[in-house]
Structure 1
Amino acid sequence: MNVAIFRESLLPYSETFIAAQAASLRRYQPTLVALKRLPNSVPLPVPSLVLPEERGLPAGGMTAFKLFSQVPRRWDKLLREQQFSLMHAHFGPDALWGLPLARRLALPLVVTFHGYDVNPTQTPLSHGYRYYQARRGHIFRSAKRVVAVSDWIRQRLETLGCPPSKIVTHYIGIDLNYFTPTRRESEPVVLAVGRLIESKGVRDLLQAMVEVQRRIPGARVVIVGGGPLEEDLKAEASRLGVRAEFTGPQTPEQVRGWMERAALFCLPSRHEAFGLVYAEAQAMQLPVVAYAHGGVPEAVRDKETGFLAPTGDKVALARHMITLLGDEPLRIRMGQAGREHVQRHFNLQHQTHLLEGIYDQILS
């Protein structure tokens, strides 16, 4: 059976998990369907269909599609040729554009909510996000199944009015064949990987590193990722006198390389639906230090695979990092426990098998 995996744009490096999940399907044949292709898209391991590239648009066609849900005939013909059985949209706002396509083809729609799409305080509130907020209830009513990437997201969806009977919690999972450690750290590196926005807590990490580097002079922090706060955070590190390396965006291979070198992973996010990067770090046998916020306690077991601090408690962050950097046997023990935790709960092949079960239920 053919399944259309819908994303408005294909596909930023921060969303390699979508491509990995699609590629791991076994009983369903996936095609990534989108409205545009990003210039620096992640390599796609499955077939893709960017509708305007294939059949173009009549004058005003995209406006008519987005404002009035008018699907161009040439798109309709192309999609019918694919003989899809189901459409799976990732992110709530994308479901707004996937829904008219699914409805035109009489396909059941599955929507996965990942985090920012259930955030009532999303800032800045763009016109597009406001429109999505106004139409979110329509998505809840129209979708056959609503997938939450954590129980925390499930609770947020229920609060926003999604019928509980439609929601299923499903962890996406990671490729344990890819995220497999081959060696351990040779230097006291604290690693953070994430978009450089306020909610990811990198500023808190830099401030905590002041005490870490006072107590452990050889320690340094490596921050992987880009974003609007990059220059501001570099200035903050300079002001604090923290030894910090900002690498900018990196490929998945480069991220994995940094995980090989690091002693621990710390991303004190203040808004995290789940955080696959925590599972990736644990799969690489890195103990994790983070805030006990949102879905993070579902990904990281406090005092077993890492340490979770109260949100905003930078003193606790520093204390936990100092403890781990100064105790190699503890790092090894927590790292091994983290790998076992991910193997039990977040194995991509097993999780995708469960996803196919969700598809089966919808189509039965």
Structure 2
Amino acid sequence: MSRTILVLNSGSSSVKYAVVEPDSGAMLVDGIVERIGEGEVADHTEAMRIVFDELGDDMAAVIAVGHRVVHGGPDLYQPTLVDDEMLSKLDELAPLAPLHNPPAVLGINVARKALPDLPHVAVFDTAFFHDLPAAAATYAIERDLAAQWHIRRYGFHGTSHQYVSEQAAAFLDRPLGSLNQIVLHLGNGASASAIVGGRPVDTSMGLTPMEGLVMGTRSGDVDPGVLVYLWRTAEMSVEDIETMLNRRSGVLGLGGEIDFRLLHKRIESGDEAAQLAYDVYIHRLRKYIGAYMAVLGNTDVITFTAGVGENDAAVRRDALTGLTGLGIELDEHLNASPGKAARRISADNSPTTVLVIPTNEELAIARACVEVL
């Protein structure tokens, strides 16, 4: 029987799980337990029991448990065996990722109690971007203050950006080291990266996963003066501002929907708020594409991935329309044709190749676990 890895991604109200065969890349089973604390699933302990019931015999060949952890701060970035000391450090880092780290730590604690005989490995979203060039990683704020509080651009979705950039090189049958790439991870969370020879040179998310592109419920880039204004003039608390930016902004805050399929329906019905939300989303995305083309100098390949990037042909079309002067020419038929596999959607004569490549963070996490073990 082939060895497998159980991959867990614990959120505040959900646990995603998958059993992955790292050698072959096969995902034997995957699923999600949702609405934790809202009904039949009382807490994460109960959610984990449901996971194990669902997996049944698929647990027999599991040799380790891999946990996705969003933020490891300045010191935790390599895939790491979990112990009590590491979990204590993750608790201390909660202010850097208040939506993500606390449920991740909770999920790890529950899983360790349920599976005490298996090694547990934390795989960090920030790992791929840890060695960003200083010019890209550094914020232009008081230097000593930034050093004291470890303020820098950390970047997120790194597991996905690394996996997709490697898959793009394989798809093109080109050496990874020869390619300048832009990867656009467009899901509920969204991020962009510029990658030279397999190494990232810039990314849109920053100290937290809030910076950058417009997202499902997160604002992305916003003038810091807005936050001071809301605190001083609207008399909003820091907690209320943080909640607004993380949970009630982005496409949801502007257009009332988080699901792009529903957003498109509202646009088709003449909903002006939904149209504006979409326009703002696309405008910000085009700005980052243009900026990263400037950072790279020349761009060999642009790749769309994650839920929106893989499935929304309109987003891909509108993000790249009118960029023939920059060497980007979409094939409208290829772009509009649905598909689940890696595929090219640019015209044959396009100097820059445009791809759609499904991300597979679970496989990347599973393989990182094997490396640690």
Do both proteins adopt the same fold according to a TM-score greater than 0.5, normalized to the shorter chain? Answer: no
Q: What is the TM-score normalised by the length of structure 2?
A: 0.34
Q: What is the TM-score normalised by the length of structure 1?
A: 0.35
